[in-house]
Amino acid sequence: MSPSRGPREAGRASRAGPYVIVVVGILYFVLPLVATFEFSLSMLRGVWSFEAYRSVFSDERFRQTFTFSIVAALLTIVVGSLLIVPTAYWVRLRFPKLRPLVEFITLLPLVIPPIVLVFGYLRLYNSSSFLPFTGSANGTYVLLVFGYVVLSMPYMFRAVDTGMAAIDIRTLTEAAESLGANRITILFRVILPNVRAAVLSGAFLSFAIVIGEFVLASLLNQPAFGPYLALVGTNRAYEPSALAIIAFAVTWICMGLLQVAGRQRRKQPNPRRSIRSLLTLSRRARG
Amino acid sequence: MSFLSITHVSKSFGPTTVVKDFDLSVERGEFVSFLGPSGCGKTTMLRMIAGFETPSAGRIVIDGEDVTDVPANRRRIGMVFQAYALFPNLTVHDNIAFGLMVAGRPKREIAPRVAEMLALIGLPQLGDRYPYQLSGGQQQRVALARALAPSPRVLLLDEPLSALDAKIRVSLREEIRELQRKLGITTIFVTHDQEEALSMSDRIAVMYGGRIEQCGAPFAIYNQPATRFVASFIGTLSLIEGIKGEGATVHVDGQPITLDAVPEVAPGAPVTLALRPEAVKLDASPDRINTLNGHVETSQFLGSVVRLKLSVAGGSVLVDTFNRPTAPPPRSGESVALHFGPSDVFALAPQEANPSALPAIA
């Protein structure tokens, strides 16, 4: 054996290692999807068919609950961004010492189960309390969206905060101030456009969470997609698989549209930025 | 009355006082540099003029208006940052238009103003580019145009050249100065680079430990340093220890040295003399009446200049001589005689003669 073969073989082995890991990873994520898809096609015995999908789409409740959840998700994203972006900005700019505390607070929803959160809500905001959110349909809906904002807070804050770390918030703020801009102008004209990719990736996660959320919607008795999925899942065999695939596809299409819409607002595309935001998105989607 | 006046301004962060009793009047159209080592308070002072920091004491008045408590966005000040700070999401055109847009100027007014600014900085074709598509020098010129577009009352430059490479730094500093003269805008320039300050400024405020050590024209600062710190910080200085003799004479190693000014110490007391490298010559002339003998320690050939380090009277003296093709530079170990006139040497003030308090002196 020639002495030069050893290291070359070792190099080949170390190059194969990452591929193996990536392939295993892909299989881990893709196999269940493929299996679900395959199962959803086999409603009629002996043939592949979209019968399960036809059944799902013909169900009025599907359309209602899905629309309900999409609207709730979009509202969650808007309210969440309006809450998180200024907070993250303000903390970074003026109260950097408070950052660990704010980070801790935004992480709480990961530690406190939604069931606890919703019981807290019901206790605090019931129809005989000083803030009777649950006393009316609209109030309950508002409470649901607020609950979703809380659930998506850890992801939204992390995404936005990381985005802000990537640009020099302080100097950009001072530059805009010296040019005469007030705080609102700075936030909407300078800061928000520059953390757009981060807000989008936060929005993506919020969307995904809200579309599949069960506990909050179920206990607040809201006609959302999650409870509907659970209901169908307990009564039918093939439709739940079809629903899962549909929900998955719609989520991805919505995010693609968001990305395209966000990009078209610039006169000239900024290739570096778009690629970066896509990378962030896919990284987060995987993680 | 001066255009920008800073009176008795101090700034403390907790127990640390960063700027102490800062007093300065700047005329309209004047270019003043704050020069000093890092941590001397020059940037803090600039940020107080900009409105990003509030003085702990004192007043800042611009064009008759007391702006001490006016927020930054209402001071009508243009600022250029070391890190450019262009808005990454906006084109060059939109960056320059930002101040005008915020001020609510009509569109038909903004477009020609931006075009004028782009022409002024010599980048008329780059309006559609994004900041990341520009070089550092171009970005900083755009930042300058952005600061100037809304016609600010004062232009503040916070080490604008520090992030650029050497060649662009020199060309851009000439451009900035030319632009400033053309527009006649009152300008404060913060730098730790003495060459920048000396070459650009009408006046320099040399700062150390939060105070102005000396404020004056570059020529005066360099040639008549008021304090030992200024003497050592601006340019290179060689120090020689001597004993005060009669009148304006100091004895160094037994040799009498005549000074223009009489050192303020009693005869027989130790005196520290200071010499600029370019003031010392290796050949005698009628006005260079002082002579000292030394040995060459090192000899550096830098092209147009030959820098010699000599050991004289137990200390080191630096000498810069021009290159002459006919006379090769002296070699290490050679004995040489130094010649200089009474006006080329000055005694440092005795109360400051504490070398440990000084930054490194060559």
Name chain B contacts of A266, Cβ cutoff 8 Å: 89
CA distance B53 to B71: 10
Q: Is residue A254 part of a domain?
A: yes
Nearest to A194 among B88, B143, B156 (CB): B88
Burial class (CB in 10 A: 0-12, 13-18, 19+), B91: buried
Q: Is residue A48 part of a domain?
A: no
Inter-chain residue contact B87 with A178, CB threshold 8 Å: no
Contacts of A26 (CB under 8 A, 6+ apart): none
- Give yes or no for a contact between B257 and B250, defined as CB atoms under 8 angstroms apart: yes
Q: Is residue A212 part of a domain?
A: yes
Q: What is residue B43's predicted lDDT score, i.e. its pLDDT?
A: 94
Which residue out of A178, A182, A268, A272 would a mutagenesis test of the B interface target, given it has the greatest number of B Cβ atoms within 10 Å?
A178
Min Cα distance B175 → chain A (Å) is 21
Q: How many domains does chain A have?
A: 1
> Is B43 an interface residue toward A (CB < 8 Å)?
no
Q: How far is the CA of B97 from the CAs of A247, B102, B112, in angstroms?
A: 45, 9, 10
Q: What is residue B202's predicted lDDT score, i.e. its pLDDT?
A: 96
Q: Are strands B16-26 and B4-13 parallel, antiparallel or unpaired?
A: antiparallel
In total, the C-beta contacts within 8 angstroms joining chain A to chain B are: 78
Of A245-259, B67-81, B193-207, B308-322, the least confident: A245-259
Name chain A contacts of B71, Cβ cutoff 8 Å: 177
Min Cα distance B76 → chain A (Å) is 7
Q: Is residue A34 part of a domain?
A: no
Q: Which residue has tokens 């004028």?
A: B116
Q: What is residue B354's predicted lDDT score, i.e. its pLDDT?
A: 46
Q: Is residue A221 part of a domain?
A: yes
Q: Residue A281 has which token pair?
A: 């998105």
Q: What is residue B362's predicted lDDT score, i.e. its pLDDT?
A: 36
User: Chain A residue closest to B99 (CA)?
Assistant: A179
Of A10-19, A32-41, B181-190, the least confident: A10-19
Q: A178: domain CATH number?
A: 1.10.3720.10
Average pLDDT over residues A21-29: 93
- Give yes or no for a contact between B285 and B340, defined as CB atoms under 8 angstroms apart: no
Q: What is residue A91's predicted lDDT score, i.e. its pLDDT?
A: 93
Q: What is residue A263's predicted lDDT score, i.e. its pLDDT?
A: 64
CA distance B54 to A129: 46
Name chain B contacts of A175, Cβ cutoff 8 Å: 79, 81, 85-87, 143, 146
User: What are the pLDDT digits (tens) for A161-177?
Assistant: 988 988 889 999 999 99
Chain mean pLDDT for chain A: 84
Inter-chain residue contact B79 with A174, CB threshold 8 Å: yes
> Is B81 an interface residue toward A (CB < 8 Å)?
yes
Q: What is residue A258's predicted lDDT score, i.e. its pLDDT?
A: 66
> Is A185 an interface residue toward B (CB < 8 Å)?
yes
pTM of the model: 0.78
CA distance B294 to A285: 75
Q: What is residue B247's predicted lDDT score, i.e. its pLDDT?
A: 80
User: What are the pLDDT digits (tens) for B142-172?
Assistant: 999 999 999 999 999 999 998 898 889 999 9
pLDDT top residue among B264 and B297? B297
Inter-chain residue contact A268 with B147, CB threshold 8 Å: no
CA distance B237 to B317: 8
User: What are the pLDDT digits (tens) for B208-262?
Assistant: 999 999 999 999 999 888 888 898 888 888 888 888 888 888 888 888 888 887 7
User: What are the pLDDT digits (tens) for B94-124?
Assistant: 999 999 999 999 999 999 999 999 999 999 9
Name chain A contacts of B87, Cβ cutoff 8 Å: 172, 175-176, 190, 194
> Is B130 an interface residue toward A (CB < 8 Å)?
yes
Q: Is residue A1 part of a domain?
A: no
Asked if pLDDT for residue A273 goes beyond 60, the answer is no
DSSP 8-state class, residue B103: T
Q: Which residue has tokens 């999908």?
A: A53
Q: Is residue A30 part of a domain?
A: no
> Is A97 an interface residue toward B (CB < 8 Å)?
no
Name chain B contacts of A189, Cβ cutoff 8 Å: 98
Q: Domain range for residue A145? A: 61-286
pLDDT top residue among B350 and A41? A41
Q: Which residue has tokens 């520090």?
A: B162
Inter-chain residue contact B87 with A176, CB threshold 8 Å: yes
Q: Is residue A40 part of a domain?
A: no
Name chain A contacts of B156, Cβ cutoff 8 Å: 178
Average pLDDT over residues A210-237: 89
pLDDT top residue among A112 and A129? A112
Name chain B contacts of A272, Cβ cutoff 8 Å: 132
Name chain A contacts of B75, Cβ cutoff 8 Å: 178
